[in-house]
């Protein structure tokens, strides 16, 4: 609770002015937060710590706040887990199809005092991190103290640049605070490899120097938070370089960095897989949860969200048939091979004898539009984020939800490790046993051990090959990717997974119709009123087509965002060419 107040204070001060002591009475000085150079301020470790809380809301969104989206569940609809539209007032962020005239996250590059109020961008957050890194050495602090906070600053800068590269590819790399006449103000784009090498330097410094414990447990930056994010960032970048054919040697280096970072977390013994999967996403408190590396706290009257409400009394988009079909049966085999799979003519049948994570993610009954007020357009309603004990309470409705949000967790780190090992070609049975098989051993999952047999996946000594496998993906890697999808379903990672594997086509509804299919229904079981607005893919019975008129079409250019037109013009007016990303117009 105390940290919530500190973050709120830091957020307010980052938008106004600040004091020599954030928690003191004198809040007014002439310097904006990102220009503060007073040695007295930087000589207080408490001030420095509180300053860093001003970064948290930019990176650790959790479930968001109010009716605003966070990073989990409703924060990302563009993938093959969700159907391509959502109901009523829920706005869906589909692919950018037009070049923005301004904004787009790229601009502005101007110094802080020239940035219009309320405008944020990668540059503004990078500037804030650079200012922090430059300012920590102003006062004479003990070497350990200084290196810890420099590590925290470099972690945030590295994370921001990783996000910047993720969005745009090649970007200008700036490691200092820009001034009005700085020659780097209109710096051309540096290669993503050059930038990510700098990011790797930042992460390595942070991993070496950030304390194993500092501030509230599981709520503040520490070594394990750095390492967990390092595993995520460099798994993304290593596989991006590999599958987009950019730099094979660097891809290997980055994948090795991801594997190393994940291994440091694993061998530390500081974390373990939680016995209850759903409690990770629907608990009033995540304090002390052994799987949580970092979480965002919510509290009634201070900070609340609405993610749970969409799993409770509100209409929702719902899971796609494509996602549901990806879950294994309890014998460890896919639906195309398992003798335990009956059919999906009812929701009960679809969920029977499946990976236990599925029944903890999807409601056990059909929730069809015109039949239930809390319907899912696909009929498959998500319940992963629903706290059943709060469903009829005030805090279970509207924007008043108070369940804590996992920001990054040990389960993801395990999946980062095993995928990196597989991509590097060094995967062993021991690797599977300390990652995927640990997750499968979680109470309620009920899957057999995944085995390695001659480079192929196997269960109970029998190798298998999913008939639905993408033929361009080796069978073992296919199963690792499946496990990742099942473990991390609706946690805001799937779109980036598709992008880094160069498999964005999986989200295309024409090429993969089951993305736009839901539950199976028989028309004779419903009244004409209940069938109003319902489209199915058969005459009298079939699968619900949630979006009969809207398709999700993927183009190659969607892998990277377009550079806003005003930035291209601004660069040109200063004699510098700012290249546009592939497939997007310059004017």
- Averaged pLDDT for residues 49-69: 92
Please tell me the least confidently modeled range out of 113-122, 354-363, 533-542. 113-122
Q: Is residue 345 part of a domain?
A: no
- pLDDT of 256 strictly over 90: yes
Please give the helix or strand (H or E) that residue 112 lies within, else none. none
Q: Is residue 544 part of a domain?
A: no
| Per-residue pLDDT, 86 | 41
- pLDDT of 113 strictly over 50: no
- Tokens (6 digits) for 390: 């709060």
- pLDDT of 353 strictly over 90: yes
Query: Average per-residue pLDDT in the chain?
Result: 89
**What is 193-235 written as a DSSP string?**
HHHHHHHHHHHHHHHHHS-S--SSTTTS--HHHHHHHHHHHHH
Please tell me the least confidently modeled range out of 39-43, 56-60, 76-80, 300-304. 76-80
| Per-residue pLDDT, 303 | 96
| Per-residue pLDDT, 587 | 84
Give the integer Cα–Cα distance in Å for 369 and 156: 44
CA distances from 5 to 153, 202, 483, 511 (A): 21, 29, 38, 48
Handedness of CA 124, 128, 134, 135 (dihedral sign): positive
Give the integer Cα–Cα distance in Å for 197 and 509: 36
Give the integer Cα–Cα distance in Å for 497 and 502: 8
Residue 120's CB is within 10 A of a number of other CB atoms, namely: 12
- pLDDT of 63 strictly over 70: yes
pLDDT confidence bin for 106, thresholds 50/70/90: confident
Residues 87, 310 contacting (CB under 8 angstroms): no
- Tokens (6 digits) for 114: 């020239």
Q: Is residue 396 part of a domain?
A: no
Give the integer Cα–Cα distance in Å for 393 and 402: 11
The SS3 assignment for 77 reads coil
Q: Are strands 462-463 and 456-459 parallel, antiparallel or unpaired?
A: antiparallel
Please tell me the least confidently modeled range out of 89-103, 427-441, 521-535. 89-103
**What is 230-277 written as a DSSP string?**
HHHHHHHHHHHHHHTTS-HHHHHHHHHHHHHHHHHHHHH------S-T
Q: Give how many domains the chain has, as a whole number.
A: 1
Range of the domain at 1: 1-56
- pLDDT of 537 strictly over 90: yes
pLDDT confidence bin for 11, thresholds 50/70/90: low
Q: Is residue 5 part of a domain?
A: yes
- Averaged pLDDT for residues 46-60: 93
- Averaged pLDDT for residues 24-49: 64
- pLDDT of 174 strictly over 90: yes
Give the integer Cα–Cα distance in Å for 173 and 154: 14
Q: Is residue 275 part of a domain?
A: no
Give the integer Cα–Cα distance in Å for 465 and 455: 12
Q: Is residue 36 part of a domain?
A: yes
- Tokens (6 digits) for 98: 């037009």
DSSP structural state of residue 472: T
Residue 193's CB is within 10 A of a number of other CB atoms, namely: 19
Give the integer Cα–Cα distance in Å for 587 and 584: 9
Q: Is residue 10 part of a domain?
A: yes
Residue 173's CB is within 10 A of a number of other CB atoms, namely: 21
Q: Is residue 266 part of a domain?
A: no
- Averaged pLDDT for residues 218-236: 98
Give the integer Cα–Cα distance in Å for 366 and 362: 10
The SS3 assignment for 221 reads coil
């Amino acid at each position: 609770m105390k940290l919530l107040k500190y973050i709120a204070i830091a957020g307010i001060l980052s938008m106004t002015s600040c004091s020599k002591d954030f928690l003191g009475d004198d809040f007014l000085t002439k310097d904006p937060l990102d220009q503060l150079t007073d040695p007295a301020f930087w000589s207080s470790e408490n001030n420095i710590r509180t300053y860093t809380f001003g970064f948290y809301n930019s990176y650790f969104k959790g479930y968001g706040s109010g009716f605003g989206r966070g990073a989990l569940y409703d924060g990302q609809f563009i993938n093959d887990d969700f159907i391509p539209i959502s109901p009523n007032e829920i706005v869906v962020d589909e692919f950018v199809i037009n070049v923005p005239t301004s904004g787009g996250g790229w601009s502005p590059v101007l110094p802080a005092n020239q940035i219009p109020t309320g405008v944020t961008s990668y540059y503004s957050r990078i500037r804030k991190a650079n200012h922090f890194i430059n300012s920590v050495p102003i006062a004479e602090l003990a070497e350990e103290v200084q290196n810890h906070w420099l590590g925290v600053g470099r972690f945030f800068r590295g994370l921001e640049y990783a996000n910047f590269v993720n969005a745009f590819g090649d970007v200008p790399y700036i490691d200092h605070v820009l001034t009005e006449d700085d020659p780097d103000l209109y710096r051309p784009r540096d290669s993503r490899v050059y930038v990510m090498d700098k990011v790797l330097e930042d992460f390595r410094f942070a991993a070496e120097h950030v304390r194993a414990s500092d501030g509230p447990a599981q709520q503040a930056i520490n070594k394990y938070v750095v390492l967990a994010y390092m595993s995520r960032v460099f798994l993304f970048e290593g596989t991006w370089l590999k599958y987009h054919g950019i730099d094979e040697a660097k891809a290997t280096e980055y994948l090795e960095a991801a594997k190393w970072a994940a291994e440091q977390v694993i061998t530390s013994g500081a974390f373990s897989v939680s016995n209850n999967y759903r409690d990770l996403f629907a608990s009033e408190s995540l304090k002390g949860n052994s799987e949580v590396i970092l979480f965002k706290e919510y509290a009634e009257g201070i900070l609340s969200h609405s993610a749970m409400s969409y799993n409770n009394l509100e209409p929702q988009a719902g899971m796609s048939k494509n996602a549901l079909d990806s879950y294994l049966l309890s014998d460890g085999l896919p639906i195309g091979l398992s003798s335990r799979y009956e059919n999906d003519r009812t929701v009960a049948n679809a969920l029977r004898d499946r990976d236990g994570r599925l029944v903890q993610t999807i409601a056990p009954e059909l929730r069809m539009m015109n039949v239930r007020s809390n319907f899912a357009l696909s009929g498959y309603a998500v319940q992963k984020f629903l706290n059943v004990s709060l469903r009829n309470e005030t805090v279970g409705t509207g924007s008043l939800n108070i369940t804590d949000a996992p920001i990054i967790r040990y389960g993801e780190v395990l999946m980062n490790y095993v995928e990196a090992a597989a991509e590097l070609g060094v995967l062993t049975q021991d690797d599977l046993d300390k990652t995927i098989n640990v997750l499968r051993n979680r109470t309620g999952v009920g899957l057999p051990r995944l085995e390695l047999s001659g480079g192929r996946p196997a269960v109970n000594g029998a190798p298998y090959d999913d008939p639905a496998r993408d033929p361009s993906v080796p069978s073992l890697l296919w199963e690792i990717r499946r496990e990742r999808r099942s473990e991390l379903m609706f946690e805001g990672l799937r779109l980036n997974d598709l992008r880094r594997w160069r498999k964005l086509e999986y989200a295309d509804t024409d090429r993969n119709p089951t993305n736009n299919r839901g539950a199976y229904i028989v028309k004779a079981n419903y009244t004409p009123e209940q069938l109003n607005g319902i489209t199915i893919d058969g005459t009298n019975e079939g699968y619900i087509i949630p979006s009969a008129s809207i398709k999700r079409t993927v183009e190659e250019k969607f892998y990277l965002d377009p550079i806003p037109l005003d930035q291209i013009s601004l660069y040109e007016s200063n004699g510098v060419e700012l290249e546009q990303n592939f497939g997007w117009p310059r004017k």
